[in-house]
Amino acid sequence: MLIVDNDQCTGCGVCEDNCAFGAIEVVDGLAVVAETCTLCGACVDTCEFEALTIEGAEKSVQVDLDSWSGIWVYCEFRGGNLATVALELLGVGRKLADARGVKLVAVLIGSGTGDSADRLIGHGADIVYRADDPVLHFFTDETYGAVLTDLIRREKPEVVLAGATAIGRSFFPGVANALGAGLTADCTQLAIRADDGALLQTRPAFGGNIMATIECPGSRPQMSTVRPNVMKELEFDSTLSGQIIDVKLDPAMLKSKVRVLESVVSENDDVNIQEADILVGGGRGLDSEKGFALIRDLAKSLDGSVSASRAVVDAGWIGYPHQVGQTGKTVAPKLYIACGISGAIQHVAGMQSSETIVAINRDENAPIFNVADFGIVGDLFEVLPKLISKIEEQRKS
């Protein structure tokens, strides 16, 4: 419960301004907490007078935290390929494992995984648990969840990570819930505290307006999904060695009440915008579907992929898988070029982690310029053709 010390509170209202949930109001010179309070703690840090404290209820069940050891990464394998984010997670996982002096373990689930396990070792894994079976060709929450849950129960890792992809964000919540483990979604930073092994999981909250760091103080494993394109993968090193363990699969684990009839891959090969290094995003400023073609041309000139704001997707100029923002995908490419996108907070939340952001917009007051590293104020129909020809010229030379 959030406690206000009425002797310390001056009624300054700083807490009220900092509450994302509208849960504090200054009444008669004192802060009053409403039921909408989520105990996020944002106000506690902003109070100069130390008038606010969160009184936590004691955890009733404490597990023996030290009996859990090892950093695990679920390595997504779909359609015959390892997901790039799997290798990125081995990169950060290696750091965490070294900081704790424990093994880095990869979990590979799928069918026809070929030399993938060796690749995972070359990218830093000490051990690979491989569950390779024709039944696991298609992803289902039940089968993948059962395999991973069983492995975690037997081996007791302290940390388990997955990419914040459609698959990771679907079956990890089920696994964590079954284990009674804490799970933090969409992390963008991970660190480990050396003395007690607490995983410090940082994620954007409230549409990216605030960052929150989350811990799992009394439970193990500590589970996170991590956004693609945020962590750095290690260079493949063929001299690294590791152990591959084939997981014995109990037939009960391979049963699913949900049957996959078909897996349809979108005909556009650039649909997975979270994996793109260069993204060109188009907004309402393109005026029409015809105008939006310029975005495709610019993307093509850069060998990049095409994304869009919600307005464009709602208008039907491009499909939902291309939507960037709070209700679409979160992307963090090396280069993001926003064309005719005003930069509403919901859009910015989905792309602000990009390495370099370029904004092109006719309205110099558009908020997108606040997050841009380079901005051009101008008419898209003049700027984009010139930009495309200049880029093509540059790339030829």
Report the C-alpha gap between 303 and 277 in whole angstroms. 9
Report the C-alpha gap between 201 and 119 in whole angstroms. 27
The minimum distance between CB 24 and another protein, in angstroms, equals: 10
The minimum distance between CB 266 and another protein, in angstroms, equals: 4
Residue 4 bridge partners (DSSP): 52
User: Alpha helix locations (H) across 5-107?
Assistant: 14-18, 42-46, 84-100
Q: Which is nearer to another protein, 56 or 134 (CB)?
A: 56
Q: Which is nearer to another protein, 6 or 370 (CB)?
A: 370
Report the C-alpha gap between 173 and 36 in whole angstroms. 24
The minimum distance between CB 363 and another protein, in angstroms, equals: 12
The minimum distance between CB 292 and another protein, in angstroms, equals: 19
Residue 32 bridge partners (DSSP): 25
Pair of tokens at residue 281 = 């995003």
Q: Which is nearer to another protein, 3 or 98 (CB)?
A: 3
Pair of tokens at residue 222 = 């500590």
Q: Which is nearer to another protein, 29 or 319 (CB)?
A: 319
Strands 374-377 and 24-27: unpaired
Q: Which is nearer to another protein, 244 or 315 (CB)?
A: 315
Q: Which is nearer to another protein, 79 or 114 (CB)?
A: 79
User: 208 CB contacts (<8 Å, ≥6 apart)?
Assistant: 326, 345, 348, 349, 350, 352
The minimum distance between CB 113 and another protein, in angstroms, equals: 18
Strands 356-361 and 374-377: parallel
The minimum distance between CB 132 and another protein, in angstroms, equals: 20
Strands 278-282 and 335-339: parallel
Q: At what angle do helices 380-396 and 289-301 cross, to 10 degrees?
A: 20
Q: Which is nearer to another protein, 41 or 91 (CB)?
A: 41
Q: Read out DSSP for 142-153? A: HHHHHHHHHHHH
The minimum distance between CB 221 and another protein, in angstroms, equals: 10
